[in-house]
Amino acid sequence: METIIQGKAYVLGKNIDTDQIIPAEHLVYSLSDPDEVVLYGKYALSGVPPAQGGLPEGNIPFINGDEVHSAFTIIIAGPNFGCGSSREHAPFALKIAGVKAIIAESYARIFYRNCVDGGFAVPYESAEHLNQVINTGDELRIDVAANTIENLSSNVTYKLNPLGSVFNIIEAGGIFAYARQENLMAQS
């Protein structure tokens, strides 16, 4: 796993649910067919309505046109990110779109576990309201070892809550890879 994650921010509001992250009508694509897997990235965050203040100022799209990868690799969100249904497709869709890290004030428990268990993205928490001080398009640099995020656009650094024991799972690539690495399950 990268210990430095750098990329552009995509800023969201509070209570972004799994239907907004990947709408139910896009759950029909195969998770094993490479031609269909990319469609999870194409439709990631396509359900975030501007009326709820979920989209960034100016209603900047997460995915441009027919692209399948986003220019934004770090999501900054308010509290309760990933609430709603327990679909593991949500963090998977974000990974396919190119998201490497999510920083939210808090997460829905099942989304957080799905994110960690699948090794899909680094789910940091912040005690600060970063979605109010970071703008979509800002260039960010996360130092995983120091648990900090630096906004390179404004030259301000913020402290993140430590990842704790989940770091090893994410670094291994998910819960099953971690279990195999630590000889916690039979090798296949």
Query: What would the two tokens of residue 48 be?
Result: 């975030």
pLDDT-based confidence at 101, cuts 50/70/90?
A: very high
- State the virtual CA torsion across 114, 132, 2, 64 in degrees, nearest 10: 80
- Architecture field, domain 4-181: Alpha-Beta Barrel (3.20)
- The model's pTM is 0.92
CB 75 within 8 A of CB 94: yes
In whole angstroms, give the CA distance from residue 34 to residue 36. 5
Instruction: Determine the pLDDT at residue 185.
Output: 77
Tokens 């220019």 belong to 71
The per-residue pLDDT of the chain, averaged, comes to 91
pLDDT-based confidence at 78, cuts 50/70/90?
A: very high
pLDDT tens, position by position, 116-147: 999 999 999 999 999 999 999 999 999 999 99
Instruction: Determine the pLDDT at residue 175.
Output: 93
- The answer to whether residue 54 scores a pLDDT higher than 60 is no
In whole angstroms, give the CA distance from residue 176 to residue 172. 9
Instruction: Determine the pLDDT at residue 95.
Output: 96
pLDDT-based confidence at 1, cuts 50/70/90?
A: low
Helix, strand, or coil (residue 185)? coil
